[in-house]
């Protein structure tokens, strides 16, 4: 087995590439042996790489032990890896504790975002909002996820404000979330106007969804007739797809969650 050496020492990058190739070929045992030898030789970063390999091989307890050892050794990225592994194992309270500890030690944006995500998942909305605001103010994080936290916490007006800020910052992916939040807040006309203002014919996908979702069938039929008269087949196709999507269920409905009543409707061909 070839391992590139420089001055008698294996280079981490070359070893990482070789171990990755072995793992891709199903030779995970050989890749593990490489990393264990590197750990024994004191190579910086080797234990975190070993932990990641074990995690990918569905050996979570062994991976967790290696991440903990890497943290004790002070390896770079070991604390984030430990928190990520705890999250994968469903040990969310422990993962939150790790992220809080990292933030207290001055670690920045990505850690704040991860903590905010976990706090949202576990219903700690106030902490999630506070942490994500820090990520925006101190690290330049996007405001769109703050809108998502507000929305999940039932604060729709605040969610609308955060989504608007994201759209104004040029984040087009926040446009649908803004329209959806407006619709959920009962501001149907504003939601529709928001969607109509989007560029391109794909806006009709969301318009069809929105009008059907709100039971505004007359407007939907008139919009379809207008597009058919204009011979805009692509826009009409998107309008129909959006309407059918509403009938099939919401984008983003969580398993086991309660969705609003679905409007079963199929436009004429």
Residue 102 lies in a domain: yes
**How far is residue 3's CA from residue 20's CA, in Å, rounded to a whole number?**
13
Residue 9 placed within a domain:
no
**Residue where a domain terminates, one of 154, 180, 198:** 198
Q: Is residue 111 part of a domain?
A: yes
CA 163 from centre of chain: 16
Same-domain status, 186 and 211: no
In a domain, 242, yes or no: yes
- The residue whose two tokens read 């004191």 is 42
Query: What is the pTM assigned to this prediction?
Result: 0.75
Of 133, 178, 171, 135, which is closest to residue 156 (Cα–Cα)? 178
Residue with tokens 């506070």: 130
Tokens of 180: 């959806």
Rounded to 5 degrees, what are φ and ψ at 44?
Answer: -60, 135
Domain CATH code at residue 150: 1.25.40.10
Q: What are phi and psi of 43, to 5 degrees?
A: -70, 125
Give me 90's structure tokens: 């469903």
Cβ atoms of 34 and 41 within 8 Å: the answer is no
Tell whether 189 and 210 lie within a shared domain. no
Please measure the distance between the N-terminal and C-terminal CA atoms of the chain and give it in whole angstroms: 64
Q: In this structure, are 123 and 157 located in the same domain?
A: no
Q: Report yes or no on 100 lying in a domain.
A: yes
If asked whether residues 99 and 149 sit together in one domain, one would say no
What confidence tens digit (pLDDT) does each residue in 158-206 have? 999 999 999 998 888 888 889 989 988 989 889 988 888 888 887 898 8
pLDDT of 13 reads 87
Output the pLDDT for position 96: 97
d(CA 120, CA 8): 49
At residue 53, the 3 state secondary structure works out as: helix
Please tell me whether residues 267 and 206 are part of one structural domain: yes
C-alpha count within 13 angstroms, C-beta hemisphere, residue 50: 27
In which domain, by residue range, is 153 found?
A: 142-198
Write down the pLDDT at residue 258.
35
List Cβ neighbours of 11 (8 Å cut-off, separation of 6 or more): 4, 5
Residue 125: the pLDDT is 96
Does residue 37 form part of some domain?
A: no
Helices (H), the chain: 12-24, 28-40, 46-56, 60-73, 78-88, 92-104, 109-121, 125-139, 144-152, 156-168, 174-184, 188-196, 203-213, 217-229, 233-248
**124: region left, alpha or beta (phi > 0 left; psi from -120 to 50 alpha):** beta
Residue 217: the pLDDT is: 86
How many domains are contained in the chain?
3
Q: Is residue 60 part of a domain?
A: no
Q: Kindly list the averaged pLDDT for each block of 10 residues, start to end, along the chain of length 269.
A: 48 89 93 93 93 96 97 92 96 96 85 95 96 90 92 95 92 86 89 86 87 86 91 91 76 39 38
Q: Examine residue 243 and state whether it is found in any structural domain, yes or no.
A: yes
- Give the pLDDT of residue 30: 94
One domain, residues 204 and 194: no
């Amino acid at each position: 087995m070839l391992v590139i050496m420089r001055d008698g020492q294996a280079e981490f990058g070359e070893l990482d590439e070789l171990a990755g190739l072995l793992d891709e070929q199903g030779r995970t045992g050989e890749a593990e042996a490489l990393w264990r030898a590197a750990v024994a030789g004191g190579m910086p970063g080797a234990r975190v790489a070993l932990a990641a390999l074990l995690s990918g091989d569905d050996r979570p307890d062994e991976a967790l032990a290696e991440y903990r050892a890497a943290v004790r050794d002070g390896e770079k990225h070991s604390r984030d890896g430990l928190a990520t592994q705890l999250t994968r194992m469903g040990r969310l309270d422990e993962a939150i504790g790790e992220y809080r500890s990292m933030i207290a030690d001055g670690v920045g944006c990505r850690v704040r975002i991860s903590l905010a995500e976990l706090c949202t998942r576990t219903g700690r909305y106030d902490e999630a909002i506070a942490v994500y605001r820090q990520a925006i103010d101190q690290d330049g994080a996007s405001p769109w996820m703050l809108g998502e936290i507000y929305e999940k916490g039932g604060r729709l007006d605040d969610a609308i404000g955060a989504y608007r800020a994201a759209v104004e910052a040029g984040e087009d992916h926040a446009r649908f979330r803004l329209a959806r939040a407006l619709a959920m807040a009962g501001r149907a006309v504003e939601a529709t106007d928001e969607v109509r203002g989007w560029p391109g014919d794909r806006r009709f996908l969301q318009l069809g969804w929105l009008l059907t979702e709100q039971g505004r069938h007359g407007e939907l039929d008139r919009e379809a007739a207008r597009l058919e008269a204009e011979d805009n087949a692509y826009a009409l196709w998107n309008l129909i797809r959006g309407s059918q999507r509403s009938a099939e269920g919401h984008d983003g409905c969580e398993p086991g969650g309660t969705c609003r009543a679905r409007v079963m409707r199929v436009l004429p061909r």
